């Protein structure tokens, strides 16, 4: 075109190049007291280009290079005047369509510029001007990229204003445009920067154009994932997030650690849906891709260089976060298996176990392979490493101790890795949460163990993990965590007591050592339950007349178990027996009386309340028998 050959056109192209450089490179060097200096300079250049472009288009019109009427319509829009002269009769690849697209590109960059300088209303107006210009033209390779990117920006803008459904509309149109274009054409489209290239200059390489175009669509999917999440359409959000991650790997448009954390986060969604194969794949990919960020610098190197220190800190943190996601995977896989296998009293149902083992057939595994082919991450560089890591842990629910133990060991190895960064010194809450997960791994592994003594040792490991922390933690600053630890320690000792009781029942007469150990377990459990209950008291030491919802069930369960533990204590002394049973009766009576005064509490402790009512009826009889025996002895 004549315009391309003119000095004025070359000046326009040079100004456009400078505007891009100011926005993308020079703006990073702007001072804190004038953070948008380069952006404002770029804006001035874009406005100058717009004026020059209008003049060039008028000259082209006078030279008869295109249809005057179509061109006039474009100019009206460019100058903010109403009109729709060309409508959809203007094809995107026609001279009029190209002129409209050039003006639209300027409006697009002006819109982005205003948004980046926090002038959102002005940014929106420029983006809408861009849309009006290109919406008059048919979609072709000359303008499809602009169509998508303008709608992406408007989607982001409206999402930022919490107008999620408006954002959804723009983004879904961008998605459908991409899919339609790829179906009907599929060639790399014209890049936005290629609208302003002087004669003799090379256009962007096809590979680079394709990469930018695909990146724009990847952004569309990414923003749609956020939109669907905000709309609580979690299934769709998960699908779009997965597609985003896949495309980022495919087109090598990712930052390793950022990608890895996003993949690990997605795994947690799949876990909530019990889709463990997908969760495992996300985690394996996250672990492999995270290694692309490089080796963790040594402590010595970190001391010598601030850059190495920052790198060490970031790599340790992100890899520890991924390790924590692996822990959750192992824990939930085992816990879901437990739910499937336990009977009505929480023990392993052997008949159910055999039934499930018989049902696990090869065709189920084949079905998993079919599903997997649709969700694979990785390129030729990483695929083998991801698959290799997946093979180290099952995605099938464990059905016996050996299967559960193999998952437990993987989870335990990630506990050690997670604690490398989340140490007690500096990361108290995170460190304790990791210890609690480790304890939970032992707890669920114990469910699969048939040997009662070994089960007891697993619960002892839970105590060894949590008790030192509970003793050292300041309840004034960490009240909620202290309560959690107190309750879990009480529960661990309670489990051990029950197991020792089951072992003792198999003996004709428990020896003195066994009785002493049993009583110590009862006392330890009661101590921690009582610490939990005391934490609920007012500063004056008064127990609340009405329990808050978050402590209602735990508090009543603690009372119930204290009552049971008091009645289980073994003693040859009748006076001690009587004292223990009276304490037990008081605790059972508390539960019954509380539920009578607060009927809404009954649903929270139906089983415990039923048993408490029985014990309130039975214990007085037992207490009276002991009193009679004591009287006859005297």
Dihedrals phi, psi of 193, to nearest 5 degrees: -70, -20
Q: What pLDDT score does 173 carry? A: 96
pLDDT above 60: residue 2: no
Q: Is residue 494's pLDDT more than 50?
A: yes
Phi, psi (degrees; rounded to nearest 5) at 348: -65, 125
Burial class (CB in 10 A: 0-12, 13-18, 19+), 467: middle
State residue 186's pLDDT score: 85
Q: What is the pLDDT of residues 314-345, one digit of tens each?
A: 999 999 999 999 999 999 999 999 999 998 88
pLDDT at site 1: 43
User: Residue 353's CB: how many other CB atoms inside 10 A?
Assistant: 16
What is the 8-class DSSP label of residue 335? H
**What pairs with residue 137 in β-bridges?**
90
CA-wise closest residue to 193 among 151, 152, 150, 145:
145
User: Is residue 532 within a helix (H) or strand (E), and if so which, with residue range?
Assistant: helix 512-534
Q: Tell me, what's the pLDDT at 629?
A: 87
- Name the nearest CA neighbour of 260 among 113, 382, 130: 382
At residue 425, the 3 state secondary structure works out as coil
Q: At residue 342, what are phi and psi to the nearest 5 degrees?
A: -85, 150
Whether the per-residue pLDDT at 281 is higher than 50: the answer is: yes
237 Cα distance to chain centroid: 12
pLDDT band for position 625 (50/70/90)?
Answer: very high
Report which of residues 90 and 347 the model is more confident about. Answer: 347
The label of the residue with tokens 């959102």 reads: 120
Residue 431 Cα distances to 320, 415, 419, 469, angstroms:
11, 10, 7, 10
Look at the block and give the residue holding tokens 């059905």: 399
Within a 10 A sphere around the Cβ of 184, how many other Cβ atoms?
9
- In this prediction, residue 382 carries a pLDDT of 83
| Predicted local confidence at residue 360, as pLDDT | 80
Provide mean pLDDT across the span 525-530: 97
Confidence tier at 66 by pLDDT (50, 70, 90): very low
Confidence of residue 472 (pLDDT cuts 50, 70, 90): very high
94: Cβ contacts below 8 Å, ≥ 6 apart = 66, 70, 137
Read out DSSP for 190-258?
--GGGGS--TTSPPPPHHHHHHHHHHHHHHHHHHHHHHHHHTT-HHHHHHHHHHHHHHHHHTT---HHH
pLDDT for residue 504: 81
pTM of the model: 0.86
Question: What is the pLDDT at residue 236?
Answer: 95
Mean pLDDT of 103-117: 96
Length of the chain (residues): 634
- Structural tokens at position 56: 């060039």
HEC secondary structure over 344-387: CCCCECHHHHHHHHHHCCHHHHHHHHHHHCCCCCCCCCCHHHHH
Phi and psi angles of residue 99, each rounded to the nearest 5 degrees, phi first? -65, -45
**Nearest C-alpha neighbor of 133 from the set 54, 77, 208, 205:** 77
Q: What angle do CA 454, 532, 467 make, to 5 degrees?
A: 40
Nearest to 203 by CA among 141, 265, 269: 141
Q: Which of 400, 399, 419 is nearest to 411 (CA)?
A: 419
Highest mean pLDDT among 364-373, 459-468, 495-504: 459-468
CB 249 within 8 A of CB 339: no
Q: Which of 59-68, 412-421, 552-561 has the lowest mean pLDDT?
A: 59-68
Q: What is the CA radius of gyration of the chain?
A: 35
Higher pLDDT, 378 or 245: 245
- Report, as an integer, the average pLDDT of 255-281: 95
pLDDT of 68 above 60: no
Asked whether the predicted pLDDT for residue 379 surpasses 60, the reply is yes
To the nearest 10°, report the CA torsion of 274, 277, 281, 286: 20
With cut-offs at 50, 70 and 90, classify the pLDDT of residue 47.
very high
CA distances from 195 to 16, 19, 106 (A): 10, 14, 10
72-88 pLDDT, tens digit each: 443 333 333 333 444 45
Q: Is the pLDDT of residue 57 over 70?
A: yes
Give CA separation, 58 vs 16, 54, 55, 67, 74, in Å. Answer: 20, 6, 5, 12, 11
Mean residue pLDDT of the chain comes to 89
- pLDDT confidence band for 363 (50 / 70 / 90): low
State yes or no: pLDDT of 520 exceeds 70: yes
164: Cα within 13 Å, side-chain hemisphere: 10
Task: Please state, in angstroms and rounded to a whole number, the distance separating the CA atoms of residues 429 and 595.
Answer: 34
User: Sorting pLDDT into bands at 50, 70 and 90, what band is 194?
Assistant: confident
Q: What is the pLDDT of residue 220?
A: 97
User: What is the rounded average pLDDT of the residues 400-420?
Assistant: 97
pLDDT mean over 384-407: 93
Residue of 365 and 376 predicted with greater confidence: 376
Mean pLDDT confidence for 243-247: 94
Q: Per the structure block, which two tokens stand in for 487?
A: 């309750």
Q: Is the pLDDT of residue 155 over 90?
A: yes
């Amino acid at each position: 075109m004549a315009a391309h050959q003119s000095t004025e056109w070359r000046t326009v192209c040079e100004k456009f190049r400078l505007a891009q450089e100011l926005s993308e490179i020079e703006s990073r060097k702007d001072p804190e007291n004038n953070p948008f200096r380069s952006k404002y300079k770029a804006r001035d250049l874009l406005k100058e280009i717009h004026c020059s472009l209008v003049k060039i288009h008028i000259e082209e019109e006078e030279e008869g290079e295109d249809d005057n009427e179509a061109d006039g319509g474009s100019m009206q829009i460019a100058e903010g005047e109403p009109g729709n002269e060309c409508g959809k009769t203007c094809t995107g690849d026609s001279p009029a369509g190209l002129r409209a697209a050039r003006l639209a590109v300027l409006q697009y960059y002006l819109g982005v510029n205003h948004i980046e300088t926090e002038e959102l209303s002005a940014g929106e107006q420029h983006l809408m001007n861009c849309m009006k210009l290109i919406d008059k033209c048919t979609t072709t390779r000359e303008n499809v990229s602009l169509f998508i990117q303008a709608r992406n920006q408007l989607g982001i803008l409206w999402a930022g204003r919490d107008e999620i459904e408006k954002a959804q509309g723009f983004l879904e149109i961008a998605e459908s445009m991409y899919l339609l274009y790829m179906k009907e054409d599929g060639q790399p489209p014209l890049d936005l920067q290629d609208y302003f290239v002087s004669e003799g200059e090379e256009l962007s390489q096809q590979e680079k154009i394709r990469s930018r175009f695909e990146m724009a669509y990847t952004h569309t999917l990414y923003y749609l994932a956020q939109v669907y999440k905000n709309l609580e359409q979690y299934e769709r959000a998960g699908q779009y997030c997965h597609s985003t991650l896949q495309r980022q790997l495919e087109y090598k448009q990712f930052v390793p650690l950022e990608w890895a954390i996003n993949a690990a986060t997605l795994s947690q969604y799949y876990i909530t849906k019990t889709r463990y194969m997908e969760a495992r794949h996300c985690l394996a990919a996250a672990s492999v891709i995270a290694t692309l960020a490089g080796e963790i610098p040594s402590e010595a190197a970190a001391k010598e260089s601030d850059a190495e220190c920052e790198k060490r800190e970031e790599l340790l943190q992100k890899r520890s976060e991924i390790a924590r996601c692996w822990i959750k995977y192992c824990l939930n896989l085992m816990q879901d298996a437990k739910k499937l296998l336990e009977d009505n009293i929480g023990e392993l149902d052997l008949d159910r176990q055999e039934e499930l083992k018989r049902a696990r057939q090869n065709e189920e595994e084949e079905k998993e392979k079919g599903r997997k082919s649709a969700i694979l991450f990785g390129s030729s560089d990483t695929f083998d490493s991801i698959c290799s890591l997946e093979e180290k842990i099952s995605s099938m629910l464990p059905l016996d101790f050996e299967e559960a133990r193999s998952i437990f060991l993987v989870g335990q190895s990630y506990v050690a890795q997670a604690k490398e960064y989340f140490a007690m010194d500096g990361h108290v809450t995170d460190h304790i949460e990791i210890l609690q997960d480790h304890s939970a791994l032992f707890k669920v592994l114990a469910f699969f163990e048939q040997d009662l003594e070994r089960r007891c040792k697993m619960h002892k490991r839970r105590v060894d993990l949590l008790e030192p922390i509970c003793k050292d933690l300041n309840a004034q600053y960490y009240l909620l965590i202290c309560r959690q630890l107190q309750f879990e320690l009480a529960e661990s000792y309670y489990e051990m007591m029950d197991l020792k009781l089951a072992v003792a029942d198999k003996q004709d007469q428990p020896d003195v050592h066994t009785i002493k150990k049993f009583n110590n377990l009862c006392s330890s459990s009661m101590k921690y339950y009582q610490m939990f209950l005391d934490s609920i008291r007012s500063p004056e030491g008064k127990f609340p007349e009405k329990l808050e919802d978050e402590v209602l069930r735990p508090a009543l369960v603690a009372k119930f178990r204290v009552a049971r533990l008091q009645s289980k204590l073994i003693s040859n002394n009748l006076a001690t027996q009587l004292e223990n049973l009276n304490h037990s009766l008081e605790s059972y009576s508390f539960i019954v009386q509380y539920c009578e005064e607060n009927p809404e509490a009954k649903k929270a402790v139906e089983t415990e309340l039923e048993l408490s009512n029985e014990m309130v009826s039975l214990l007085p009889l037992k207490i009276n028998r002991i009193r009679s025996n004591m009287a006859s002895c005297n």
